Structure 1
Amino acid sequence: MKWQNALNDYKHYLKIERGLSQNSITNYEYDIKKLIQYLEDHDIKVSPIDISNDVVQPFIYELSKVLNPRSQSRLISGLRSFFSYLIFEDYRKTNPLDLIESPKIGRKLPDTLSIEDIDKLIDAIDLSKPEGERNRAILETLYSCGLRVSELTNLKISDLFFDEGFLKVTGKGDKQRFVPIGPNTQKYINIYRKEIRSHQLIVPEFKDTLFLNRRGKQLTRAMIFTIIKQLALAINLQKTISPHTFRHSFATHLLENGADLRAIQLMLGHESITTTEVYMHVDRTHLKDVLRKYHPRK
């Protein structure tokens, strides 16, 4: 079996059987291509069926010199998954990653913005420019609905159920969920649609896409990052932020104000509540108030 054939089969498996998004599949592919490149650079002739721990171990060691522990851990996990697939398909009996330990990385706590920070960022938007109303609607939606950046850029007009107070969101692996959206955010989206978007020349295939660039096409993830970074510079915010920071802030502020963790999980679209539980570690100060309020022996 050739590496490229094994990789193509694996990508098909990830898409069809595991239902992963294209971004996730690309990340897995990237890990395997690193190993393939290493084998070519060192003129190592070995197939994916025959490769052993003795070959993989030096590859991991070499990468450990240039990758941080978190990146190493992700790479090892990606390769382990690939060889597990080959075992599942009866191409191999053992996984060459079984004896390789991932580096200890600890749990990374998400960065968050205060409500004041978010207000300042939104206030810094220049509403005299056509893109101003769009950018305000984007930030309000990111923070008020806790969306991933890809979920925001893929949002359709047909996904807006304002009368019911919900957005239909397509998340990882094309899984759909309904997320509540408040009246204020609805208001800013409607202003953008009526005052800006309705006057644009829109490329036909993007007629249903909500947020558009000046050329009438879907916004890219990179453009959302750029908008946020420019606003952070404008208010001299001493934090490194991204679209995901608004998602973290959404969850953290809900939790601090007494929201149920299970409800937050559903709104964020987390597969496992373990992922949502990271927000329990962000700010523990409110836990004392919960104890005093609800425990019988205060």
Structure 2
Amino acid sequence: MKWHDALNDYQLYLKIERGLSQNSITNYAYDIKKLISFLELHDMIISPIEIDHSAIQQFIYETSKNVNARSQARIISGLRSFFSYLVFEDYRKINPLDHIESPKTGRKLPDTLSLEDINNLIGAVELTREYNGVRIGERDRTILETLYSCGLRVSELTNLKISDLFFDEGFIKVTGKGDKQRFVPIGNSTQKYITIYKDEVRSKINVQKEFKDTLFLNHQGKQLTRAMIFTIIKRLAEKINLNKIISPHTFRHSFATHLLENGADLRAIQLMLGHESITTTEIYMHVDRSHLKEVLNKFHPRR
């Protein structure tokens, strides 16, 4: 079995059997491609069936010199998953990563923004800003409002459809990881901004045929990329001299943290975020310990 054949089969398995999104599949394949390149660079002619613990260990050692523990753990996890697939399909007897331990990384707490930070970022958007006749300022404000008010992943935002808007019911339909769909409540103010953008800005764009139902578009009438959303947020952060490294995901973290701080139920937050396991959502319990103290003082019978 050749490496590229094994990788193609694995990616097909992730798509069909595991139901993962293309973004997740690309991430899984990334470190396997790095391993293939490493073997080619060192003239190591070993198939995925024959490769052993020592060759994997050498690869991990060489590629992990300049990365942190979390990145090293991701590399090991990605390779372990790939070889587990080969064992599952009876191509191999054992997983060469069985005796390779991942470094201890601890639990990384998500970065968050204060409500003041969010208001300042949204307030910094120039609503009259145009590009090739398209009012991208109005669009950018709507994007930030939607990210924060609905707690969306950046891919969920860029893939949002007009047909996913159920404003009469107060919900939007979101397609998350593994193409799993969920309904997320949306507030009246965000509905207002989306309606303004859709009716007054988007309606004047020459929309490409395949993006007729896509909500957020660039000036060419095409779907916005993830990189473009990052760029919009980075420019605004620089504009207000925000001394934090932020991304679209920071708005999602802030959404969950602010809900929790204001007394929202953890299970409800889990459903809105689309987390498969509530243990993923529980990380927000550690973001602001002062909230836990307030809960104790408010609800404990011997407070």
TM-score range, shorter chain: over 0.9
State the SS of the aligned residue for 1:178: strand
Shift of 1:228: 0.6
| Distance in 1 of aligned mates of 2:2 and 2:63 | 23
Shift of 1:101: 0.9
State the SS of the aligned residue for 1:239: coil
- TM-score, normalised to structure 1, is 0.98
Q: Which amino acid aligns with 1:112?
A: T
Shift of 1:28: 1.3
Query: Given the alignment of the two structures, is residue 259 of structure 1 paired with residue 264 of structure 2, yes or no?
Result: yes
State the SS of the aligned residue for 1:167: strand
| Residue of structure 1 in register with 2:154 after alignment | 149
| Residue of structure 2 in register with 1:168 after alignment | 173
Shift of 1:158: 0.1
Shift of 1:124: 0.7
Query: Given the alignment of the two structures, is residue 208 of structure 1 paired with residue 202 of structure 2, yes or no?
Result: no
Which ranges of structure 1 fall in alignment gaps of 5 or more residues?
A: none
| Residue of structure 2 in register with 1:127 after alignment | 127
Shift of 1:187: 0.3
Q: Which amino acid aligns with 2:58?
A: P
| Distance in 1 of aligned mates of 2:294 and 2:109 | 22
- TM-score, normalised to structure 2, is 0.97
Which ranges of structure 2 fall in alignment gaps of 5 or more residues?
A: 130-134
| Distance in 2 of aligned mates of 1:118 and 1:270 | 24
The alignment-based identity, stated in percent, is 78
Count of residue pairs brought into register by the alignment: 298
Q: CA RMSD in A?
A: 0.8
Q: Which amino acid aligns with 2:177?
A: K
Superposed, 1:100-115 pairs within 5 Å as 100-115=100-115
Q: Which amino acid aligns with 1:211?
A: F
| Residue of structure 2 in register with 1:56 after alignment | 56
| Distance in 2 of aligned mates of 1:12 and 1:75 | 20
Higher mean C-alpha displacement, 65-74 vs 223-232: 65-74
Q: Which amino acid aligns with 1:82?
A: F
Shift of 1:34: 1.0
| Distance in 2 of aligned mates of 1:38 and 1:133 | 47
Shift of 1:254: 0.2
State the SS of the aligned residue for 2:249: helix
* Deviation digits for residues 135-188 of structure 1 (CA, Å, limit 9, x no counterpart): 111000000000000000000000000000000000011110000000000000
State the SS of the aligned residue for 1:20: coil
| Distance in 1 of aligned mates of 2:23 and 2:202 | 28
* Deviation digits for residues 226-280 of structure 1 (CA, Å, limit 9, x no counterpart): 1111111111111111100000000000000000111101100111111111111
Shift of 1:120: 0.7
* Deviation digits for residues 32-70 of structure 1 (CA, Å, limit 9, x no counterpart): 111111111111121111111021111111112122211
Query: Given the alignment of the two structures, is residue 250 of structure 1 paired with residue 275 of structure 2, yes or no?
Result: no
| Residue of structure 1 in register with 2:204 after alignment | 199
| Distance in 1 of aligned mates of 2:168 and 2:194 | 14
Superposed, 1:27-46 pairs within 5 Å as 27-46=27-46
State the SS of the aligned residue for 2:60: helix
| Distance in 2 of aligned mates of 1:127 and 1:37 | 47
| Residue of structure 2 in register with 1:272 after alignment | 277
Q: Which amino acid aligns with 1:83?
A: F
Q: Which amino acid aligns with 1:229?
A: K
Q: Which amino acid aligns with 1:3?
A: W
| Distance in 1 of aligned mates of 2:81 and 2:149 | 35
| Residue of structure 1 in register with 2:47 after alignment | 47
Q: Which amino acid aligns with 1:124?
A: A
| Distance in 1 of aligned mates of 2:56 and 2:8 | 21
Shift of 1:204: 1.2
| Residue of structure 2 in register with 1:91 after alignment | 91
| Distance in 2 of aligned mates of 1:281 and 1:78 | 27
Q: Which amino acid aligns with 1:203?
A: Q
| Distance in 2 of aligned mates of 1:68 and 1:28 | 18
| Residue of structure 1 in register with 2:132 after alignment | none
